[in-house]
């Protein structure tokens, strides 16, 4: 607001902000019935006819939209004095400004940078989305769509996180299978029984991997990497332990030709 602008004497300037806010709102009316049809009556009060200068589709018309909004704001009625309307242009100068700065982003030795975050939609896959973002950024750099002197630098790429997660899943499965086979061999003392139990681990994991593949989903630390090998080998261990024990109880004493064949105790 500028005090040197001419305005009617005793014109209040307090309602300036509420007046602009009220002028930039839609007003709903009643329903107008015409025969068998009903029409909703409403007044669109958006300044500048609702056009957003920041919309990418409106970039060629940005200056025109800004000028239209400024003229509409200047013609907003603040109050009335002696029956005469007091417009915004009578008490203030309307120019294009900026929001007050609330923070700053810096990285490394640069104290002024612009940070951007790409959000992935729900149910999308991380790796294809990351690759698509990289292709789009490469196109922006190649076609020089940014202002002169500006460039895009990636400092946190989700593709690396996906590869690390996949490596961890593979590592957990292989190391878990190896430890289970080793522990079973130590406690059972029989390589064949340990092998039978160990074969059940990849077969048990094959089913959830197949279901994930059919559904088009990726394996991660929650779906496959957190598999409980103890639950998988419990039933196999219980089934292979009795034959392993019985095979070790067979009598090895020499038998004569007339003696009856010995039997293994179970």
pLDDT of the chain, 266 residues: tens digit per residue? 555 444 555 555 567 788 888 887 777 778 888 888 888 887 777 787 777 777 777 778 888 888 888 888 888 888 888 888 888 888 888 888 877 888 888 888 888 888 888 888 887 888 888 889 989 988 888 888 887 888 888 888 888 887 887 788 788 778 877 887 788 778 777 777 777 777 777 777 777 778 877 877 766 655 565 566 666 666 666 666 555 555 544 444 454 445 455 444 44
CB 264 within 8 Å of CB 246: yes
Task: Give the number of other CB atoms < 10 A from CB of residue 194.
Answer: 23
Q: Which residues pair with 81 in a beta bridge?
A: 84
| pTM, entire model | 0.44
Distance of CA 135 to the CA centre of its chain: 18
**What's the confidence (pLDDT) of residue 265?**
45
Q: Of all helices (H) and strands (E), which one includes residue 207?
A: helix 191-214
**What's the confidence (pLDDT) of residue 266?**
44
DSSP single-letter state for residue 249 = S
CB 188 within 8 Å of CB 241: yes
Give the span between the Cα atoms of 118 and 126, in whole angstroms.
12
**What's the confidence (pLDDT) of residue 252?**
46
**What's the confidence (pLDDT) of residue 8?**
52
CB 159 within 8 Å of CB 118: no
In 3D space, the residue among 74, 23, 70 whose CA is nearest the CA of residue 45 turns out to be: 23
**What's the confidence (pLDDT) of residue 32?**
86
Give the span between the Cα atoms of 212 and 210, in whole angstroms.
5
Q: Of all helices (H) and strands (E), which one includes residue 42?
A: strand 37-43
Give the span between the Cα atoms of 35 and 228, in whole angstroms.
70
DSSP single-letter state for residue 97 = -
CB 244 within 8 Å of CB 188: yes
In 3D space, the residue among 245, 240, 235 whose CA is nearest the CA of residue 265 turns out to be: 245
**What's the confidence (pLDDT) of residue 239?**
62
**What's the confidence (pLDDT) of residue 237?**
66
**What's the confidence (pLDDT) of residue 259?**
47
Task: Give the number of other CB atoms < 10 A from CB of residue 11.
Answer: 15
Look-up: residue for tokens 């729900």?
Answer: 122
Q: What are the residue ranges spanned by the domains of the chain? A: 16-91, 117-156, 158-246
Q: Of all helices (H) and strands (E), which one includes residue 182?
A: helix 158-188
């Amino acid at each position: 607001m500028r005090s040197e602008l001419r305005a009617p004497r005793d014109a209040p300037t307090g309602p300036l902000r509420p007046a602009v806010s009220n002028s930039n709102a839609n007003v709903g009316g009643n329903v107008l019935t015409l025969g068998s049809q009903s029409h909703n009556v409403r007044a669109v009060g958006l300044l500048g006819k609702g056009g957003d200068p920041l919309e990418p589709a409106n970039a060629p018309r940005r200056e025109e939209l800004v000028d239209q909004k400024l003229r509409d704001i200047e013609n907003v009625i603040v109050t009335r004095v002696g029956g005469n309307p007091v417009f915004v242009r009578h008490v203030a100068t309307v120019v294009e400004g900026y929001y007050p700065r609330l923070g700053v982003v810096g990285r490394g030795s640069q104290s002024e940078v612009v940070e951007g975050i790409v959000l992935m939609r729900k149910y999308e896959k991380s790796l294809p989305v990351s690759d698509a973002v990289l292709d789009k950024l490469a196109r922006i750099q190649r076609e020089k769509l940014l202002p002169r002197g500006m460039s895009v630098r990636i400092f946190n790429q989700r593709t690396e996180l996906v590869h690390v997660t996949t490596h961890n899943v593979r590592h957990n499965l292989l190391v878990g299978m190896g430890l289970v086979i080793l522990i079973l061999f130590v406690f059972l003392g029989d390589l064949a029984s340990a092998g039978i139990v160990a074969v059940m681990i990849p077969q048990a994991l094959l089913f959830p991997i197949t279901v994930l593949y059919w559904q088009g989903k990726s394996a991660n630390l929650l779906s496959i990497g957190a598999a409980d090998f103890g639950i998988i080998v419990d039933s196999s261990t219980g089934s292979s332990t009795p034959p392993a024990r019985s095979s070790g109880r067979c009598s090895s004493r020499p038998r004569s030709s007339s003696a009856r064949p010995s039997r293994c105790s179970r």
